Structure 1
Amino acid sequence: MHFRKATILDLNEIQELFVQTIQSVCKNDYNPDQINAWVSGVKITERWVDVIEKQFVLLAIIEEQIVGYGTLKNNNYIDLFFIHKDFQRQGIAQKIFNELEIEAKNQDSKIITSDVSITAKGFFEKNAFFVKAEQKNIVKGVEIINYKMQKNYK
């Protein structure tokens, strides 16, 4: 596995990974209506282009396939963080997180925050994040619960 920064040419594969991961990995924590509302965000092309152009987007690659990615917005906010459904529980998330954390520290960030799904909450807790608040987001008329989480640095 190796890492590289994303380019606009990666957009379709990144979006496909987003949808497939949510539909398969998150199905035990969210119902079909919630999943459909959540993945509908893939259609907001301007947001995805904005992520690629303005955020630190790190891709994990195995044999030319994107197996996961994480994004860092404003040097201290993990905006997107997804691991391919066929590459779960192989340590990829931890390696991506470690690289995002290094980038945040290199930018002198004192905290990292993220809005974390029920599915990902345990991973973030294992990485010393704490829950600041449970959030009830309404997307396309459907309530989706996630958590505002934070990790502090000395």
Structure 2
Amino acid sequence: MITIRKGNKNDLAQLQQLFVDTIHFVCHKDYNQKQIEAWSSGIENKERWQQVIHHQYILVATEQDKILGFCSLDNGNYIDLLFVHKNHQHQGIALQLYTLIEQEARQQNQKYLTADVSKTAQPFFEKIGFKLIKEQIVTVKGVELTNFKMKKDLI
């Protein structure tokens, strides 16, 4: 049975592994190998991951102590990370996590949510009511990747 709980510092290693594995195994249809390597190199930014754990509202979906997915909310209205394990895609885990994140944002009286969304995640975000604001090119380690600024009004 899947349970959702708040993430903590003890989850960090599993979160980072899930981040890398998901990018490599799920996003390869939308990004080339060089882009995948650059994007997944985000694991090296220890300061950023500490910021996620200590300063963001983060939820993890677990089953028997194994993390199957996670979602984080930064500054009350920005979905920073949403990743689901490669073997647990299309099982409703992202929707469960997102629903609770949106609930938290509403409790904080946020008027909207934003996210910078990968090509892979864009259809999911559209399905849950996000609208495209603009296509973006981001450069990571000298490699260009396309993503999308998206927004969902909560009121």
**Normalization by structure 1: what TM-score?**
0.99
For 2:74, the aligned partner's letter is: K
Distance in 1 (alpha carbons) for counterparts of 2:16 and 2:141? 19
Distance in 2 (alpha carbons) for counterparts of 1:22 and 1:64? 22
The alignment status of 1:144 with 2:154, answered yes or no, reads no
**Structure 2, gaps ≥5 residues long:** none
Name the residue aligned to 2:85. 84
Name the residue aligned to 1:52. 53
Q: CA deviation at 1:127?
A: 0.7
Name the residue aligned to 1:20. 21
Name the residue aligned to 2:64. 63
Could you give the per-residue CA deviations for residues 10-68 of structure 1, whole angstroms, max 9, x where no partner exists?
Answer: 10000000000000000000000000000001011110011100000000011110000
Q: CA deviation at 1:6?
A: 1.1
Distance in 2 (alpha carbons) for counterparts of 1:41 and 1:89? 25
**Structure 1, gaps ≥5 residues long:** none
Runs of 4+ off more than 2 Å: none
Distance in 1 (alpha carbons) for counterparts of 2:139 and 2:40? 13
Distance in 1 (alpha carbons) for counterparts of 2:93 and 2:7? 16
> RMSD across aligned C-alpha pairs, in angstroms?
0.5
Q: CA deviation at 1:8?
A: 0.9
**Normalization by structure 2: what TM-score?**
0.98
Could you give the per-residue CA deviations for residues 93-131 of structure 1, whole angstroms, max 9, x where no partner exists?
Answer: 110010000000000000000000000000000011011
Name the residue aligned to 1:35. 36
Name the residue aligned to 1:75. 76
Q: CA deviation at 1:133?
A: 0.6
Distance in 2 (alpha carbons) for counterparts of 1:31 and 1:85? 18
Count of equivalent residues: 154
Q: CA deviation at 1:82?
A: 0.1
Distance in 2 (alpha carbons) for counterparts of 1:96 and 1:6? 12
State the identity as a percent: 47
